[in-house]
Structure 1
Amino acid sequence: MFNKIPLAWLQVTREKTRLAVAIAGIAFADVLIFIQMGFEGALYDSATKPHRTLQADLVLINPQFQTLFSVKSFPRERLYQALSYEGVNKVSPLYISTGQWQNPETRVSRAILVWGVDPASPTFKFPEVNRNLDQLKLLNQVLFDQSGRPEYGKVADIFNQTGTVETELNNKIISVKGLFTNGSSFAADGNVITSDSTFLQLFPDRTPAEIEVGLINLTPGADIERVRSQLITGLPNDVKVLTTEEFAQIEKDYWASGTGIGFIFGLGVGVGFIVGIVIVYQILYADVSDHLPEYATLKAMGYTNLYLLGVLTQEALLLAILGFLPAFALSFGLYQVTYAATLLPISMTVDRAVTVLVLTIIMCSVSGAIAMRKLRSADPAEVF
């Protein structure tokens, strides 16, 4: 008969106040996990987006390269040596450095990431960049990242109204001749793309012979791994040959293990998980304590500890679902608010939602298993 009665549901919903407290506690723990995972995902996505948008099959970098925030150069001649290998169709250099952008309205300067590209060869997969490459062939003209921080000024608005914006970059007058969308990251609040010639004028201490990234495009049908192996074998060891995904992974690894940020986000997820376990345990423990005579009666009737554990597990799963739903909705809204405030690419994903749901179920199941210790003490002889 008891198998047909939704005992777990009746137990969970009997005390409305206790149920509300439990849902609020689990939702709080889930929101904490969602926020930490969201920031962690935004960190990695924003940091590696430029790498993944490079229009190349292989890249050359300095073996000591760790992050775009502090780039290391290598001899440009290595790039042209790579051009002699079978399967390599074309190569192009990429210069990277941090400059000082002057807000055209307030005249306040702010650090910005500057990319120097060959205007005769597409470097990025951004359609708006490739449409305006010809604009960069003239000196002192740049393309501006319209998704950067607002502290750079209302550049996009002014450009859309007038067709050009003049300001200073590294104390040199430049003109904005186009917009593109990349976005800010934990390392760079904004981006500017210009020609290699303009880049070298903006950074007079730099020489054309030293570049940060070499882009290699292969002929159609070429075996990437075979060409890569040939380049690794033939080129000096002052360069490393990578795919664009491996290049992005280096950046991700830097932020995950080379700084304290990745650890902090991971710790936040762990804290949220532990908080959830404690909250659910307290709820289930109080439920067991209040209904100890009833559980003892069930044991006297022949129901085993395994059956009672099943009831507790069902209660835990119900609490997990009821707590997850408002947490998901609230976190979705918080992601939108965070994006508007920081312009970081933080958004709800299916994988993240499923991961948090699974963590919530595990969290509540562990709490139920711990609370079972109190249930085992329900001895009919002692209770009655």
Structure 2
Amino acid sequence: MLLAIPLAWLQLAREKVRLFVALAGIGFAVILMMMQLGFQEALFTAAVNFHVNLKTDIVLINPQTTTLFAIKNFSRRRLYQAAGVDGVESVTPLYLDFGFWRNPETRKTRQILIIGFNPNQAVFSLPGVAEYLNQIKLPDVVLFDENSRPEYGPITEQFKKGEIVSTEVSGRKVTVKGLFQLGASFSADGNLITSDVNLLRLFPERTLGLIDIGLINVEPGVDVSSVMSTLKKTLPDDVLVLSKQGFVRFEREYWETSTTIGFIFTLGTMMGFIVGMVIVYQILYTDVSDHLAEYATLKAMGYKSRFLYSVVLQEAFILAVLGFIPGFALCLGLYKLVRDGTSLPMFMTVDRVMTVFVLTLMMCVISGVIAMRRVQAADPADIF
């Protein structure tokens, strides 16, 4: 058995061009699977980045809300009612709306998400927000998300140079007085943060009495689940009570189950798996066919079919490992390229590396099992 691994490698290395083609095909399959899974996770992560960075224990939303992109408002009175529940430390109303940002250079408009709240209350743990909260107390002042799409203009560069950045949002002149980091998502390609009063200046048809999200923080040491139970019993059914984690799941489940995004990227991963399996099968089948006489000779010498099968499987294993390495290395560069080009949070994770490596092994082993049928054709009687 000790000779099996060298034999498998020598057979693969004998045809260097064929080996290179095989590794290139497997590497392509690895890239395809890893990119599909990376895109899927990056989009889902971006979709809940807003939710994850909220400083809250409990969230109130309208039950008719399906996603942040289609949020429904509800009466602010519900938040005041929640403030009277035992264990509640503070409540904060949050206002969301979509306006049209005018690129100060090209003058083209693009939809942007505007987030408004009382600047005297800490709402986000996002980098940059806390430093500029006093700025948005001023009329028509906003904070700009530096991870927004580049179509909004060179706002970040101009601000960091110390230039005055002014433009229009929904026909009203605003000034950028700070930067924060959130990033593009399914809901919006860009984001602004301002005060609740400034948001009403942009949308005069709105009132402070109708809010989009209610944030509730409980007192230290108080059990969040018990407060949630009390809120569900106390508040009418025109609001939905969620934990922060439940709010994150609520958004993610919408994009996973109510859209075709999950299906599309899963299908792309399966296609990469199938493409790789076909390539490996063709390589192994051709290799076995070229060495059929040698396999027949080994049979005549007394080697069992089990040994010959193990040689094919070891070839499959070698191809899987050698093909995975360049595919993984190229994906590191592609992930950075996607991050820089789209502002999506696309990062390599250990779980994804292990998942794709296991899929690559399965892909090659299945191809090897199918190619074993060719080994059965190695009959010593045909050779001697």
Q: Shorter-chain-normalised TM-score: which range?
A: over 0.9
What is the match of residue 73 of structure 1? 73
What is the identity, as a one-letter code, of the residue corresponding to 1:327? G
Aligned equivalent of 2:241: 241
Moved more, 271-280 or 196-205: 196-205
Instruction: Evaluate the alpha carbon distance shift between residue 80 and residue 305 of structure 1 in structure 2; reply closer, same or farther with a 3 A threshold.
Output: farther
| TM-score normalised by L of structure 2 | 0.96
One-letter amino acid matched to 1:243:
S
Residue 275 in 1 paired to residue 275 in 2?
yes
Q: CA deviation at 1:57?
A: 0.9
Q: CA deviation at 1:150?
A: 1.5
Check the 8 A contact 2:26/2:276 in 1, yes or no: yes
Judge conservation of contact 2:5–2:311 (CA < 8 Å) in 1.
no
Deviations 1:271-308 (A, max 9, x none): 00000110001111111111112212222333333222
Could you tell which deviates more after superposition, 324-333 or 299-308? 299-308
In the TM superposition, 1:148-159 aligns within 5 A as 148-159=148-159
From the superposition, tell whether residues 299 and 229 of structure 1 become closer, same or farther in structure 2 (CA, over 3 Å): farther
Change (3 A) 1:188 1:5: closer
How far did 1:315 drift?
0.8
1:323 and 1:62 map into 2 onto residues whose CA distance is 50
Matched to 1:355, the amino acid is: T
Q: Does 1:46 align with 2:24?
A: no
Distance in 2 of aligned mates of 1:6 and 1:159: 62
Q: Alpha-carbon deviation of 1:138?
A: 2.3
1:293 and 2:266 matched: no
- Counterpart of 1:277 in structure 2: which amino acid? M
Query: Whole-Å Cα distance in 2 between the matches of residues 73 and 54 of structure 1?
Result: 18
Q: SS state of the match for residue 128, structure 1?
A: coil
- Structure 1 residue 164: deviation in Å? 3.7
Query: What secondary structure does 1:40 align onto?
Result: helix
Q: Distance in 1 between matches of 2:182 and 2:127?
A: 12
* Residue identity matched to 2:318: L
2:148 is the alignment partner of 1:160: no
1:133 aligns with 2:133: yes
1:383 Cα deviation from its structure 2 partner:
4.2
Kept in 2, the 8 Å contact 1:296–1:378? The answer is yes
Does the 8 A contact of 1:255 with 1:261 survive in 2? Answer: yes
Relative to structure 1, is the Cα distance of residues 380 and 2 closer, same or farther in structure 2, using a 3 angstrom cutoff? farther
For 2:331 and 2:307, the matched residues in 1 are separated by 36
Quote how far apart the aligned CAs of 1:267 are.
Answer: 0.9
Equivalences for 1:365-384 in 2 at 5 Å?
A: 365-384=365-384
Q: Does 1:265 align with 2:265?
A: yes
Matched positions, count: 384
Residue equivalent to 1:189: 189
CA distance in 2, matches of 1:2, 1:87: 69
Q: Find the residue that maps to 1:250 and give its secondary structure.
A: helix
Please report how far the alpha carbon of residue 4 of structure 1 lies from its aligned counterpart in structure 2 after TM superposition. Answer: 6.7
Query: Contact 2:88/2:218 (CA < 8 Å) preserved in 1?
Result: yes
* Of 2-11 and 77-86, the range deviating more from structure 2: 2-11
Post-superposition CA distance 1:218-257 (Å, at most 9, x none): 1111111111122122221121111222212222222222
Distance in 2 (alpha carbons) for counterparts of 1:48 and 1:302: 62
- Identity, in percent, stands at 54
Equivalent residue for 1:8?
Answer: 8
Does residue 339 in structure 1 map to residue 339 in structure 2?
A: yes
Equivalent in the alignment of 1:22: 22
**How far, CA to CA, are the matches of 2:330 and 2:251 in structure 1?**
31
Q: Which residue pairs with 1:88 in the alignment?
A: 88
Contact 1:114 1:194 in 2 (8 A): yes
Name the SS for the 2:123 alignment partner.
Answer: coil
Matched residue of 1:314: which SS?
Answer: helix
Deviation larger for 264-273 or 230-239: 230-239
Query: Structure 2: 5+ residue runs without aligned partners?
Result: none
**How far apart, in 1, do the equivalents of 2:50 and 2:62 lie?**
17
Hey, what's the Cα distance between the residues in 1 that align with 2:145 and 2:202?
18
What is aligned with 1:178?
178
Partner of 2:211: 211
Take 1:356 and 1:372, find their aligned partners in 2: how far apart are those partners?
Answer: 24
Aligned 8 A contact 2:115 2:194 in 1:
yes
| Structure 1 runs (4+) greater than 6 angstroms displaced | none
Q: Cα distance, 1:167 vs. partner?
A: 1.3
**When the two structures are superposed, what TM-score results if normalisation uses the length of structure 1?**
0.96
Q: Which one-letter code corresponds to 2:363 in the other structure?
A: M
Helix, strand or coil for the counterpart of 1:189?
coil
- Give SS of 2:216's match: strand
**Do structure 1's residue 256 and structure 2's residue 251 form an aligned pair?**
no
Q: Which amino acid aligns with 2:339?
A: Y
Contact 2:101 2:152 survives alignment (8 Å): yes
State the Cα distance separating 1:317 from its structure 2 match: 0.9
Offset at residue 2 of structure 1 (A): 5.7
Structure 1 unaligned spans of 5+:
none
Aligned mates of 2:376, 2:232 — CA distance in 1: 64
Contact 1:163/1:177 (CA < 8 Å) preserved in 2?
no
Change (3 A) 1:326 1:4: closer
